[in-house]
Amino acid sequence: MTIHDFMAKVAAKNAGEPEFLQAVKEVVETVWDVYISNPRFVKANILERIVEPERVIIFRVPWMDDKGEVHVQRGFRVQFNSAIGPYKGGLRFHPSVNLSILKFLGFEQIFKNSLTTLPMGGGKGGSHFDAKGKSDAEIMRFCQSFMAELFRHIGPNTDVPAGDIGVGGREIGYMFGMYKKLNNEFTGVLTGKGRNWGGSLIRPEATGFGVVYFAQEMLKAKGLSFEGKRVAISGFGNVAWGAAQKVNELGGKVVTISGPDGYILDEEGISGDKIDYMLELRASNNDRVKDYADVYPNAKFFPGKRPWEVKVDVALPCATQNELDINDAKALVANGCICVAEGANMPSTPEAVEEFLKAKLLFAPGKAANAGGVATSGLEMTQNSMRLNWNSEEVDAKLHEIMRNIHQACADNGVENDGFVNYVKGANIAGFLKVANAMCDMGVV
C-alpha cells in the first residue's frame, strides 16, 4: 500500500468532506514512515482504524424564537477515538458547521489530546446554529434543546464536551444546567464551567496563553524572545484575547486583530483596556471587528482584508480554519516574519504550511500550539474528580509545564538532518505513537 492508495480509499469513503480529508492527509503523510516500519501497527491496521470515528451522533435540535416561530437545527457529536481516555473536545456553534468540519476537528483532537500527556480521547461536536442577532433567551432555549438529546451520549467517564467557536461560558452554563436537571447529577461533564460551579481558573485564558508559551519555547530554542516583537493576531474571540494578554506580558506588541469583516491595525499596540474591549466586541455577537476603530480612532480598519499583509515578527492565526493561504504565507515570509504559531485549528492551508516549512521559519501547527485549552480542560476534570480547586498560579504553572513538554516532544520527533525542527511532523508523530500503541494493546475493538 502507498500513501496515494491509502488516501484514495479514505477519499472514496468520505466523499464531500474536504476539511476532513485535508486534516487526514497531513497526518498520514507525516506518520507514514513510522507506521510502515512498525509491523505491530500494520498488522493491527491502525491507520485505517484511526481515520474512522468510533461513533457519529446526528440529531434534531428544535427550538422556538422570541416570536414563537419554531426552527430546526442539526446537532452533531463525533466520538472519534477513546483509546487513551474519554472522548474530549469542544462544541462549535457557527453557521459554517457541517460533518466534514466536525470530523476534521475531532480527528485533530485525538493527536492534540495525546500530546497534552493527559488521559483524554478525541471528539468534537456542534451545530450550524447562528448566534448572530439572537437574544439571550433564544440562545438559552437552543442550548437546552441541544443538551436534551446530547445528554444521553455523554458523561464524565464517557465524553466531556467544552467550548469552541460560538460556545463560551454562557452557553456552557445553559447546557450544564440542562444536563444536571435531566441526569439529577452534578458532575464534571462539561469543561469551561463558571468559577462558582466547578470551573477552573485560567481555562478562559488557557488556549491563548498556551499558544504564546509554545511560541516562546520556539523562540527560546533560537536564543530569541517576545521582547520588542511586533505580533499579528487574527480573530477577536476567546483565543485571540488570551494570546493578546500574554504577548503583552512578555514584552511584545500586538498590532492586529481581525473579524469576518476585515482587520484592525493599531500601531499603538493592543494592550490594557483595549484587551478588555475585545471581550465586549465578542459578546456583542455582531460579527464585526470594525467597531474597534470607532472606539480607538488612531487604529485603522481594513475592510475585507486579512492581517497577514502587515510587517510583523510573529503571526498568531486565532480565528478559524483555512484563514491563511499561500499568498498570505508568502507575504509574511517576504516581510521577515520569523515565527507562526496556530491558535486556531488548521488556520493555514496545506500550501501555506509548505511555504513556511520551505522558508524554514518557526512554524507550530494548531494541534501542538493550541493544546493548552484542552490541557486546562483536563486540569478542570482533575479538580472536579478531586473535588477541590487549584489557584490560578498552580493552574498556570501546570499549563506552562505542559506546553514546554509538548514543545520538547515535537522537537524530539520533528528534528531533521540539518537540525531544522519540523514541528508539523514532530506533533503528528508524537501524538500518533501514544494512541496507536494504546489501540494495539487493546486488541481489535
Interacting residues with ligand 2IT (CB under 6 A): 88-90, 112, 162, 164, 191, 345, 373-374, 377
Alpha helix (H) ranges present in 37-191? Answer: 39-43, 46-50, 99-115, 136-150, 169-183
Q: In angstroms, give the least distance from the CB of 243 to ligand NDP.
A: 9
Q: In angstroms, give the least distance from the CB of 239 to ligand 2IT.
A: 9
Q: In angstroms, give the least distance from the CB of 245 to ligand 2IT.
A: 18
Of ligand 2IT, ligand NDP, none, which one does residue 89 interact with (CB within 5 to 8 Å by kind)? ligand 2IT
Of ligand 2IT, ligand NDP, none, which one does residue 329 interact with (CB within 5 to 8 Å by kind)? none
Q: In angstroms, give the least distance from the CB of 46 to ligand NDP.
A: 26
Of ligand NDP, ligand 2IT, none, which one does residue 336 interact with (CB within 5 to 8 Å by kind)? none
Q: In angstroms, give the least distance from the CB of 39 to ligand 2IT.
A: 33
Cβ(233)–Cβ(201) under 8 Å?
A: no
Cβ(229)–Cβ(254) under 8 Å?
A: no
Annotated catalytic residue 181 = no
> In angstroms, rounded to a whole number, what is the distance separating the alpha carbons of residues 383 and 199?
9
> Which strand ranges, in their side-by-side order, compose the sheet holding 87-93?
55-64, 70-81, 122-127, 87-93, 159-162
Residue 315's φ and ψ, nearest 5 degrees, are: -120, 130
Of ligand 2IT, ligand NDP, none, which one does residue 278 interact with (CB within 5 to 8 Å by kind)? none
Of 262, 268, 372, 265, the residue nearest 319 (C-alpha): 262
Quick one: 218 or 319, whose CB is closer to ligand NDP? 319
Of 334, 330, 335, 362, the residue nearest 224 (C-alpha): 362
Of ligand NDP, ligand 2IT, none, which one does residue 85 interact with (CB within 5 to 8 Å by kind)? none
Q: In angstroms, give the least distance from the CB of 209 to ligand NDP.
A: 11
Of ligand NDP, ligand 2IT, none, which one does residue 191 interact with (CB within 5 to 8 Å by kind)? ligand 2IT
Quick one: 33 or 136, whose CB is closer to ligand NDP? 136
* Longest pairwise C-alpha distance within the chain: 65
Cβ(254)–Cβ(238) under 8 Å?
A: no
Quick one: 116 or 144, whose CB is closer to ligand NDP? 116
Q: In angstroms, give the least distance from the CB of 55 to ligand NDP.
A: 21
Quick one: 347 or 426, whose CB is closer to ligand 2IT? 347
Quick one: 47 or 108, whose CB is closer to ligand NDP? 108
- Cell readout for 194 is 463558571
Of ligand NDP, ligand 2IT, none, which one does residue 166 interact with (CB within 5 to 8 Å by kind)? ligand NDP
Give the residue closest to ligand NDP by C-beta. Answer: 237
Q: How many CB atoms lie within 10 A of CB 89?
A: 31
Of 438, 433, 434, 408, the residue nearest 423 (C-alpha): 408
Quick one: 27 or 148, whose CB is closer to ligand NDP? 27
- Cell readout for 54 is 468510533
Q: What is the torsion angle, in degrees rounded to the nearest 10, for the CA atoms of residue 158, residue 378, residue 216 and residue 313?
A: 50
Catalytic option among 88, 103, 112, 124: 124
Residue 90's φ and ψ, nearest 5 degrees, are: -80, 175
Of 412, 403, 404, the residue nearest 430 (C-alpha): 412
Q: In angstroms, give the least distance from the CB of 281 to ligand NDP.
A: 8
Quick one: 86 or 307, whose CB is closer to ligand 2IT? 86
> β-strand 253-259 against 159-162: which pairing, if any?
unpaired
Q: How far apart are the first and last CA of the chain?
A: 23
Of ligand NDP, ligand 2IT, none, which one does residue 53 interact with (CB within 5 to 8 Å by kind)? none
Give me the residues that bind ligand NDP (CB under 6 A), please. 163-166, 207, 234-239, 258-260, 282, 287, 318-320, 323, 343-345, 370, 373
> In angstroms, rounded to a whole number, what is the distance separating the alpha carbons of residues 278 and 283?
9
Quick one: 121 or 426, whose CB is closer to ligand 2IT? 121
The three-class DSSP label of residue 348 is strand
> In angstroms, rounded to a whole number, what is the distance separating the alpha carbons of residues 72 and 56?
19
> In angstroms, rounded to a whole number, what is the distance separating the alpha carbons of residues 364 and 190?
28
Which residues are catalytic, by number? Answer: 124
